[in-house]
Structure 1
Amino acid sequence: MAPPSSCILLLLCLGMLCPHPGDSFPHKTTCTIKEGKADCSHMNLNNVPPGLPPDISTLDMSHNRLKVLDPGALSRYPSLEHLDVSYNSIMGLGPGLCDALPRLQHLSVQRNQVLHLTATELRNCSRLTHLDLSDNRLKLIGEPFSVLKSLTWLDVSRNKLITAGLGTKPQLPSLVTLILSGNDFTTLKTDDFSFLSSSPSFRVLGLSSLPLKKVEHGCFKPVSALTDLVLDGCNLNTLLTKVCDELSDTSVRNLTLRSTLQTVLKNITFKGLLKTNLTMLDLSSNKISKIDDGTFQWLPLLESLSLENNNIKHLTKDTFMGLKSVTQLNLQKALVKTKAAYPIIDDFSFQPLVKLEHLFMRDTSFRDITENMFAGLPSLRTLDLSWSKAGLKTISNTTFASLQGSPLQVLNLTRMALTKLDPGAFSCLGNLTTLVLKYNFISQDLTGEEFRGLNSIREIYLSLNQQKISLTHRSFIHVPTLRVLMLGRALTGTLDMEPSPFRPLTNLTVLDLSNNNIANFNSGLLEGLYHLKVLKMQHNNLARLWKDANPGGPVLFLKDTQNLSVLELDYNGLDEIPLKALRGLFHLNELSLSGNLLNYMHGSIFNDLQALRYLRMEKNLLTSVLMGTFSVPLSNLSELHMEHNPFDCTCESIQWFSDWLNSTNTSVPERTSSYICNTPAAYFNRSVLDFQTNSCKDLLLFQGLYTFSSTMVLGLMAIAFLVHFQGWRIQFFWNIAVNRTLGMKGSRYEQMVEDRYDHDAYVIHAPDDKPWVERSLLPLENENFSFFLEDRDAVPGQSTLESIVENIRRSRKIIFVVTEALLNDPWCRR
């Protein structure tokens, strides 16, 4: 249970959060200056350094070797408001400190050797509001604090003071907090706090770790406006009732009694607090074994009660009688099992706590959850039973029947050795939003009936259940409102089923399937989970599912999760990523692929990851980091982990990445020590940062010449082969192109072409078709139109082939008389 804010302040005041004097820090050589603050701590300095900016407002000189506070040295910094000289060897403050520092507000002189303190040393410290003189050897001379009119916080703890009285006349009119812990006085006298009788703002008093033996009547009367009192570590076994009686006329609201050696709380112990406004009571870390009935009846306004770390044997229906305002009860380790028996919690023990909202019973022992154990808690919102030692093994539909209709929202059953959830186990908890079942031994097939009735559930944690839970396609059919489902190290069996067990969870945003040795499922595993933002699948066996050689191709199970923000796939044995595996993940912010076997990746595999901020690929088999593959994901990256890969430090593999590492502002942990070259031998075991990219630039000219010459040679070879085998075709189409493109018509050229033709058409026919030609074509001839017939018009003595070629050239057209005889003619077939 988190302590109230006032207690946090007191813990700080008491030095519980302060560094131990033996803590080791590295010594610096220069002061750190930032935003008006100078940090000169841990520098073995004997004096205040003179060369600091004169306008600094804060100076930290702690953990040095100062023996005096020299006003002359400090006067160089008149704007100082905060001065910390703790953990030095200062013997005294010395006169003139505040004359040199007129704006000083906070002064810490903790753990020094200050002995005598006089009003002269604090003269003119009118603005001082915070003074820490703890862990010195103070002997007050006169009334040293009477001059501090603005002081609100004073710590003089652990100074071997023999009295709580710091003065004999009223002083410190603005004081709010006084810490007197760890001193040597054994009695709180009637007039000890009379010096605060004119301090209307006083509220907080720290009296921890005092050897108190006596509390005189009226000792708290001068500080009746007191609201916070800390008595931790005092032996109040016989004094507690007296202390409560003396507080009866105060305004105390927060009372801390940790480790005060209480064993039995009687029904009159807190009677004196009836007239107070006590709202917080801390009785943690005592040895309380018995609480009498009605012990707390005197505290009707109490809101927070802590009984943590005690040894209570029995809670009855009257133990908390009268606590009608309590909203938070801490019973963590309050009831501890002994060899003899379990502690007993009677039915209706919590019934008086009608306003209780948060009940913490972590690591508490009880025999069982009875039918009426939690009856009468109409306001309960949080119930923490984690790590409790009980005989409970099975959650049945009656286990939490006493909470029927309660507004319970959070139920924590972590590490309770549960083995089974019965159907309707939580059916009476219709308002539950968070159910935690981690670290149990649940072994069963989830049919879905276990979660029936959880109409408002948002989060279910089933992680670390020894991998004994099997899912069915109906496992979550009754919880469509679920947003977070944690199943890490919980599952056994297969997820290769239709429909997917997660298909009803359309509102799911976080899914954890890590550490389950999952090796097989289909592409519909996450079908319909359009709102999924976080997917954890590390430590499984997904290598086969993403192989191109997988029967049916790679399983692209991320196709419906376009809103993913975090994807964790570490330690899955992946040696390849399909080209489309990460397509469409435009909102992915964090990708983790550590501990796989990745080497080669497609050039565009990360192209959609434009929003990526965190990339983890350490401990893979990456040899090259190419610009074409990684330029997109690394362009906006905030943090990169790619260490412990066997990089190939060559120009082709690592040049771009080396330049990027040397120039980027992205956080790259272990940049200098864990990005090591594996090959070639010249760079073996050297940092990638040491790779000389200049050598790659010298090769650019050679590479250009090589590319040009290779292109020319290949081009000439192609032209030679083309001309050799297709030259005639090129010439033919060239002539056609020239004639048609240049458009030589109606010109002298056209007339020359016309003069070239002797016949209008060259007739080709088979000898058997001659009668048809003479009958059908020859009648068409006249003085302006003529045919060329080979057997009629050929020049005697001329070669047949030459005659054909020449006369075809001198004829405008060619007429083929296509018949079967022509096709069989030897000339045609040739």
Structure 2
Amino acid sequence: MLQMHQSFYPAWVIPVYIIIAVSPHQCMATCNVQNGRADCSHLRLSSIPQDLPSNITSLDMSHNIMTAALPESLKRYSGLLHLDISYNSIKNLDVDLCRNLPQLLTLNLMHNEVRLLKREDLSHCCKLTWLNMASNRLKLQGEPFSLLKNLKYLDVSMNKLQSAMLGTTPQLPSLETLNLGYNDFTTLKTNDFSFLRDSPFLQKVSLISSMSLENLESGCFKPISGLRVLSLDESRKGSLFISALCTELSGTAIDFLSLRKISLLKLTSQTFSGLKETNLTFLDLSSNSLSKIEDGSFQWLSRLQTLNLTDHNIGHLTNGTFQGLNMLKTLLLLKKKDQKSHLLVDDFSFQPLSNLESLILQNTALVKITENTFKGLTRLKKLDLSWNPQTERQLTDKTFVSLCDSQLKTLNLNGIASAGIKPGSFSCLKNLSFLFLDRNFIRQTFLGKEFEGLSQLQELHISNNTQAIYLTPESFVGVPNLRVLTLAKSLTAETLNQDSSPFRPLSNLTELDLSNNNIANIRQNMLEGLENLRVLKLQHNNLVRLWKQANLGGPVLFLKHTWRLEHFTIDSNGMDEIPIEAFRNLTHLRELSLSNNLLNNFQDSVFDDLTSLEVLRLEKNFITSVRPEVFRTPMHNLSLLVMGKNTFDCTCESILWFVTWLNTTNATIPNLRDQYICNTPPLYFNRSIMDFDPLSCKDMTPFQVLYILTSTAVLLLMCSAFIYRFHGWRIQFYWNIMINRILGLSDARLGEGREFEYDAYVIHAEEDARWVERRLVPLEDKDCQFFLENRDSVSGMSQLESIVNNMRRSRKILFVVTESLLKDPWCRRFKVHHALHQVIEASRDSVVLIFLQDVHDYKLSHSLFLRRGMLHQSCILNWPPQKERIPAFYQKLLIALGMTNRLQE
């Protein structure tokens, strides 16, 4: 039955299934190749890729599933200098590996399954300087390292080696560091390090976590007498073993000895006696829960310079505890954080440490500081008493009197539960440069006496107190050289709302931190006199009204005195407005942070003076548009922009310039695709602004230009039409006058081939005779001559002959067109026919029409056989109904009568 079902599967199902099953191994992430280094780690590769550049010098194949490093697969990369094949399942080291990699310098084989290592396996690795064979469970055969003349670092830790002897003949002449930690040998024999007797550069041997090591044969370190660094961390051996170790190290050049986590609970006066003749300068006894130190325990370590007793459980220090450590410079006495026992320090306990420069007593639960606690520390430069709650809650002039003879420069009093500072508390610390008073419970008004005597103080840190410190104009008069002042989360809200600024004496101040103080009001002169201020922090206050135009007295421009400011932070203040003068003249500002406010619209030139800005933070505001008028200048040299989580309006007007800038800038913009999200319009809602298509805006540009041009043309045309409609006659009238005055009226008589007796033969209806007498005859006073039939006809001559002859003697034939003329049979028959003959014989300019009435062109053609199109435009005149247009009419008539009848060639 099963076979029947299988037969129904198509033939392509099995190949597809095979592809799907194999795909996780075949479709892997590619190696990262950069600057000649190929990183192919964590890719589940079973072999070395052959598609990498052949000129790579470093190859990382760690954390894969290789079972062998085939020399043939590495032949392509013969220039390799560094090869890392750690964390694989490689069974053996092929003899041809280094043959195909002749330039190889470092080889990492840790965490593999190499069981047997022979001399031949490394015979061609002559140039190797660094070799890590840790965690392989090695079994050495012969002298596997004897040919590694240039090797400087060798790690064979975590291999369950039964002996520290890695060879019988001298070898590894260049070795500097040997790691034998986490192995199983129980004894260091006299000859175990004989193979290193010709290794003059050997400086460090690590025996970390050698818990099986029980015995040290006499002279076991003699072959490596040049040893300078020895680590036995996590070996849990106790004081007896350490005494034996020190005895064996007596003839060496040991300089650094690390004995961390070795269960050393007690030091006796003989524990380090074997180190008397050594030059030991560094001793690390940290993390040992050391509870007791006998007097004189360190008397043998006269050259010791650094002693680390961190995480101790010591309850009592006496005058003899540090006896003999007269060269010590650094002492670390940090107590375990979970230990609640107190440390009792006798007077003059530190007196033997005459050269001590740094004393770290952090979290030691120091019971009390007396007038003699630190006596004798004349060269002390750093004292850390942080997290030592004092029984006396107030610092007084007696607290540090034992340090009057010291050269103390740094004093750390963070977390000592101090409630106040009495006048003169630091008066004897004349050289103090750095004072830390953070995380205390100081509640007082600073009157200036508190910091008396600290004229050399450069940094004062009083942050994270109880926000109960009130400042006065004299608060910092005693620290004129102060450069850094931090008062975060320590001041009362109204302490800066006073006429005279408490910071005025601090002319050298470069950094001021006033954050987290709920400050609501400050004065415009708060920073007056701080010309050297470089860093100002005002975040997490309540300065919402500070820059509002509606603020009483206007915006408070408190930055106008800090023209050298470089870093300014005013996050989380609820600000929704920035005055245009807020950042004026801040040309040195390199970092500006306005995050977590309510900012939306910015005035165009508000950031124009920020020409040096490199970092701009505006995240978590209500910014909708990023316009070039606002941001072009500050974003010109920007290296970091943080503007995510705003309500961007993804339209062409709002972010086209911004998106274009994002696509071309070299600045770093974290979380660009995840936090720069569009809020409007609906098309882009909840999408990244990088999805906005700038091309959708570019096509609008020519249409906008075309729209502007066409709109302008239409408006000009409409205006011109209106002007011409109502004032065209006036324009034409003055134009004619101007032309005539410049060029003079044209005289047709000069251009005609024959003389005319009349300027015009007037044809009119009987009803229009009175108009002719009143309007045309007066023009004869202006050197015009008209022929009027009822006035100028010769008696006795036939009317037809008179019409023909006088028309010939007239330059123009002037029709006074009215409805009456169209009905006059005499005019319609003979006079018009002869006038048409004149038009044809001479030109179209020989006829002038004066319309006294609005006569349709159809009637004109039907009655007089004339059309307006037959005549020149200047020969067609209309009698104006308005009285003011009559002079313009006469002007046009004179021009028409003065025109020549000849055609223009």
* TM-score bracket for the superposition, by shorter chain length: 0.7 to 0.9
Q: Is the 8 A contact 2:493 2:520 kept in 1?
A: no
The 3-state SS of whatever aligns with 2:251 is coil
Shift in alpha-carbon separation, 1:390–1:215, aligned structure 2, 3 A: farther
Residues 235-274 of structure 1 aligned to structure 2 (within 5 Å): 235-237=236-238, 238-274=240-276
Q: Return closer, same or farther for 1:453/1:620 CA change in 2, 3 Å cut-off.
A: same
Per the normalisation by structure 1, the TM-score is 0.82
Q: 1:337 to 1:654 in 2, by over 3 A?
A: closer
- 8 Å CA contact retained: 1:337, 1:343: no
Query: Does the 8 Å contact 1:112/1:136 carry over to 2?
Result: yes
Q: AA paired with 2:573?
A: N
**Structure 1 unaligned blocks of 5 or more:** 1-26, 743-830
Contact 1:505 1:529 in 2 (8 A): yes
The DSSP-based 3-state class of the residue aligned with 1:653 is helix
The whole-number CA distance in structure 2 between the counterparts of 1:258 and 1:451 is 41
Distance 1:292 1:722 in 2: 116
Equivalent position of 1:628 in the other structure? 629
In structure 1, the residue matched to 2:89 is 89
Within 5 A, what are the aligned runs for 1:562-641? Answer: 562-641=563-642
Query: Paired residue for 1:326, among 316, 325, 328?
Result: 328
In the alignment, is the contact (CA less than 8 A) between 1:317 and 1:346 conserved in 2? Answer: yes
* Aligned residues of 2:343 and 2:364 also touching (Cα < 8 A): no
Mapped to 1, the partners of 2:264 and 2:92 lie a distance apart of 41
Q: Which amino acid in 1 is paired with 2:79?
A: S
Aligned counterparts of 2:670 and 2:28: Cα–Cα separation in 1: 23
Contact 1:232 1:259 in 2 (8 A): yes
What is the identity, as a one-letter code, of the residue corresponding to 1:552? G
Give the equivalent residue in structure 2 for 1:110. Answer: 110
Whether 2:679 is the aligned partner of 1:678: answer: yes
Which amino acid letter does the alignment assign opposite residue 294 of structure 1? G
Q: Paired residue for 1:184?
A: 184
State the alpha-carbon separation in 1 of the partners of residues 715 and 500 from structure 2. 57
For residue 778 of structure 1, what is the aligned residue in structure 2?
none
* Number of equivalent positions: 712
**509-518 vs 50-59, greater mean Cα deviation:** 50-59
The question of whether the paired residues in 2 share the 8 Å contact of 1:612 and 1:633 is answered with yes
For residue 416 of structure 2, what is the aligned residue in structure 1?
A: 416
1:311 corresponding residue in structure 2: 313
Superposition deviation, residue 344 in structure 1: 0.9
Give the direction of change, closer, same or farther, for the CA distance of 1:335–1:62 in structure 2 (3 Å limit). Answer: closer
Matches of 2:722 and 2:413, distance apart in 1: 82
Cα distance in 2 for partners of 1:430, 1:722 equals 91
Deviation string, structure 1 residues 715-756 (Cα, Å, up to 9, x no partner): 8999999999x99xx9xxx9xx99xx99xxxxxxxxxxxxxx
Q: Larger deviation: 415-424 or 120-129?
A: 120-129
- SS of the counterpart of 2:662? helix
Map 1:508-527 to 2 at 5 A: 508-527=509-528
Deviations 1:782-817 (A, max 9, x none): xxxxxxxxxxxxxxxxxxxxxxxxxxxxxxxxxxxx
Conserved? CA contact 1:336–1:364, under 8 Å = no
Is 1:501 matched with 2:498? no
Structure 1 residues 692 and 463 mapped into 2: Cα distance closer, same or farther (>3 Å)?
Answer: same
Note closer, same or farther for the CA distance 1:462–1:400 as it changes in structure 2 (3 Å cut): same
Aligned partner letter, 1:695: S
1:541 corresponds in structure 2 to 542
Contact 2:627 2:657 in 1 (8 A): yes
Does the CA contact (< 8 Å) of 1:307 and 1:334 recur in 2? no
Q: How much has 1:334 moved relative to structure 2?
A: 6.4
CA contact (8 A) 2:467 2:492 kept: yes
- The corresponding residue for 1:217 is 218
Write the distance in 2 (CA, Å) between the matches of 1:665 and 1:454. 47
Rounded to whole Å, the distance in 1 between the matches of 2:90 and 2:650 is 58
Pairwise CA distance, 1:105: 1.6
Distance 1:426 1:688 in 2: 57
User: What corresponds to 2:139 in structure 1?
Assistant: 139
The 8 Å contact of residues 230 and 255 in structure 1, kept in 2 or not, is answered as yes
Is residue 2:653 matched to residue 1:652? yes
Is the Cα–Cα contact under 8 Å of residues 369 and 392 in structure 1 kept in the other structure? Answer: no
1:100: Cα distance to partner?
1.6
Q: Flag the 1:192–1:392 CA change in 2: closer, same or farther, 3 A.
A: farther
User: Secondary structure at 2:633's aligned position in 1?
Assistant: helix
How far apart are the structure 2 equivalents of 1:418 and 1:718? 85
Q: Using a 3 Å threshold, how does the CA distance of structure 1 residues 334 and 320 change in structure 2: closer, same or farther? A: farther
Counterpart-to-counterpart distance in 2, 1:158 and 1:333: 32
Shift in alpha-carbon separation, 1:482–1:723, aligned structure 2, 3 A:
farther
Change (3 A) 1:719 1:529: farther
What is residue 776 of structure 2 aligned with on the other side?
none
Contact between 2:390 and 2:418, CA under 8 Å: does it hold in 1? no
Bigger mean CA offset, 664-673 vs 530-539:
664-673
User: In structure 2, how many angstroms separate the alpha carbons of the residues matched to 1:470 and 1:711?
Assistant: 67
Q: Displacement of 1:713 after TM fit?
A: 7.8
Percent identical across equivalent pairs?
52
Given the superposition, is the C-alpha separation of residues 487 and 430 from structure 1 closer, same or farther in structure 2, using an over 3 Å criterion? Answer: same
1:117-143: per-residue Cα shift (whole Å, max 9, x none)?
110111122211111000111011122
Mean CA deviation greater in 260-269 or 643-652: 643-652
C-alpha contact 2:374 2:402 (8 A) present in aligned 1: yes
Shift of 1:92: 1.0
**Alignment-derived partner of residue 775 in structure 2:** none
SS class of match (1:678): strand
C-alpha change, 1:653 and 1:335, in structure 2 (3 Å) is closer
Q: Contact 1:312–1:335 at 8 Å: present in 2 too?
A: no
Larger Rg: 1 or 2? Answer: 2
Task: Report the counterpart of residue 690 of structure 1 in structure 2.
Answer: 691
**8 Å CA contact retained: 1:335, 1:365:** no
2:343 matches 1:343: yes
Match of 1:205? 205
Rounded Cα–Cα distance in structure 2 between residues aligned with 1:716 and 1:611: 51
Q: Does 2:471 correspond to 1:474?
A: no
Aligned to 1:811: none
Matched residue type, 2:634:
P
In the other structure, the counterpart of 2:845 is none
Moved over 6 A (4+): 712-724
- Alignment partners' CA distance in 1, 2:723 and 2:462: 72
Question: Alpha-carbon deviations, 1:341-391, whole Å to 9, x = none?
Answer: 622101111111111001111111111111110110111001011112432
Q: Comparing 688-697 with 396-405, which one deviates more in the overlay?
A: 688-697
The AA in structure 2 aligned to 1:631 is R
The 8 Å contact of residues 493 and 517 in structure 2, kept in 1 or not, is answered as no
SS in 2 for 1:411: strand
What are the Cα deviations for residues 291-327 of structure 1, in whole angstroms up to 9, with x where unaligned? 0001000011000000110101110011001101111
Tell me the secondary structure at the aligned position of residue 598 of structure 1: coil
Deviation string 1:94-119 (CA, Å, 9 cap, x unpaired) is 22222222222211101100100110
- Superposed displacement of residue 32, structure 1: 2.3
Q: Secondary structure of 1:682's match?
A: helix
Work out whether 1:354 is the aligned partner of 2:354.
yes
Bigger mean CA deviation after superposition, 63-72 or 293-302: 63-72
Query: Within 2, Cα distance between the matches of 1:205 and 1:181?
Result: 9
- Structure with more of its chain in helix, by fraction: 2
Counterpart in the other structure of 1:799: none
Which residue type is aligned with residue 316 of structure 1?
T
Report Cα offsets for 1:396-417 as digits up to 9, x if no partner.
0110001113211000001111
Q: Report the AA paired with residue 378 of structure 1.
A: T
CA distance in 2: counterparts of 1:523 and 1:588, whole angstroms: 19
Per the alignment, residue 18 of structure 1 pairs with none
> Counterpart of 1:203 in structure 2: which amino acid?
Q
Does the 8 Å contact 1:392/1:416 carry over to 2? no
Tell me the distance in 1 between the aligned counterparts of 2:464 and 2:707.
61
Opposite residue 406 of structure 2, the aligned amino acid is S
The CA RMSD measured in Å over matched residues stands at 2.8
Q: Which amino acid aligns with 1:609?
A: L
Alignment counterpart, residue 290 of structure 1, candidates 283, 289, 292:
292
1:774 paired residue number: none
Report the CA distance shift for 1:658/1:125 in structure 2 as closer, same or farther (over 3 A).
closer
Q: CA 1:336 to 1:675, structure 2 compared with 1: closer, same or farther past 3 Å?
A: closer
User: Cα distance, 1:163 vs. partner?
Assistant: 1.1
Query: 1:42-57 to 2 correspondence within 5 Å?
Result: 42-57=42-57
Q: Look up the equivalent residue of 1:559 and give its one-letter code.
A: K
Measured in 2, the distance between the counterparts of 1:449 and 1:526 equals 22
**Structure 2 residue aligned with 1:463:** 463
Query: Match for 2:390: what amino acid?
Result: A
Aligned to 2:533: 532
Offset, 1:276: 0.5
Runs of 5+ unmatched residues, structure 2: 1-26, 744-905
